[in-house]
Amino acid sequence: MAQRARIKLISNDPQSLQKICNQIGKIAERTGVRIRGPIPLPSKRIVIPVRKSPCGNGTATFDHLEMKLHKRIIDMDAEEKSMRLLMRIHVPEDVHIEIAIERK
């Protein structure tokens, strides 16, 4: 039974996320496995309101911090050689990777 690996990448830095996607694409090209993606998912925007000063003089004392989480999904055939190479990729600390292997 053939298996498929679904790789979900999450990061707040789009350049490092694209770099990892390119590395996964090169691994798939070298090993000859089929790949679909990277499929961009909608970015999640997280806004945190913070007080500027402790006195609390109205709404002018609020500041807003913002962080965007960028997501990508890559589907590829889960062959042993490609999965071993995938595990050896150097991943930056700001990129979170989830790999789920499922049957086709």
Q: Which domain holds residue 17?
A: 3-43+71-103
User: For position 14, what pLDDT does the model report?
Assistant: 93
Residue 88 — φ and ψ, nearest 5°? Answer: -90, 0
Distance CA(37)–CA(42), nearest Å, equals 15
User: For position 57, what pLDDT does the model report?
Assistant: 67
User: For position 62, what pLDDT does the model report?
Assistant: 79
For residue 71, CA distances in Å to 39, 52, 68 come to 8, 31, 10
Q: Is residue 75 a part of any domain in this protein?
A: yes
Q: Is residue 57 a part of any domain in this protein?
A: no
Q: Which residues of the chain fall below pLDDT 50?
A: none
Q: Is residue 89 a part of any domain in this protein?
A: yes
Q: Is residue 35 a part of any domain in this protein?
A: yes
Number of other CB atoms surrounding residue 72 within 10 Å: 21
Into how many domains does the chain fold? Answer: 1
User: For position 37, what pLDDT does the model report?
Assistant: 84
Domain with residue 37: its CATH number is 3.30.70.600
User: For position 75, what pLDDT does the model report?
Assistant: 94
- pTM assigned to the model: 0.80
3-state SS track over 40-101: EEEEEEEEEEEECCCCCCCHHHEEEEEEEEEEEEEEEECCHHHHHHHHCCCCCCCEEEEEEE
